């Protein structure tokens, strides 16, 4: 997986399943500054829809989404 944007924090959710990746993403995005990027790596099949929906609902932006076999990588930009 390529590194296009520098993340302020990386969250490894491999092996964790719904709803844990969503809970940890919510908690960790609050710990970075507006404008910074949270990188989330997960293999939870539900995370693709959950994290995209969370970002949109919370007013954040999914800058990048990559899927490589069963692993997914999200770069989520924290907005105000």
Domain ranges of the chain: 9-77
* pLDDT reported for residue 78: 98
Mean predicted lDDT score pLDDT of the chain: 94
pLDDT at 5 (0 to 100)? 74
**Residue predicted with more confidence, 5 or 56:** 56
3 state DSSP class of 46:
coil
Asked: is 9-77 a CATH 3.30.110.40 domain? The reply is yes
- Dihedral sign computed on CA atoms, order 27, 80, 10, 48: positive
Q: Which residues are identified as catalytic?
A: 18
Q: What is the pLDDT of residues 4-31, one digit of tens each?
A: 578 999 999 999 999 999 999 999 999 9
Give the pLDDT mean for 42-69. Answer: 97
Listed in sequence order, the residues at least 6 apart from 10 whose beta carbon sits closer than 8 Å to its beta carbon are 38, 39, 40, 41
Residues 2 and 33 sit within 8 Å (Cβ to Cβ): no
Residue 65 — very low, low, confident or very high, per pLDDT cuts 50/70/90? Answer: very high
Predicted structure pTM score: 0.91
In order of 7, 49, 57, 63, the CA distances from 4 in angstroms are: 9, 22, 25, 10
């Amino acid at each position: 997986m390529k590194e296009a944007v520098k993340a302020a924090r990386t969250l490894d959710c491999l092996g964790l399943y719904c709803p844990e990746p969503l809970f940890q993403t919510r908690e960790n995005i609050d710990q970075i500054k507006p404008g910074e990027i949270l990188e989330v790596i997960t293999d939870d099949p539900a995370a693709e829809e959950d994290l995209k929906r969370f970002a949109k609902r919370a007013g954040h932006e999914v800058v990048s989404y990559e899927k490589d076999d069963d692993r997914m990588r999200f770069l989520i930009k924290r907005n105000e």
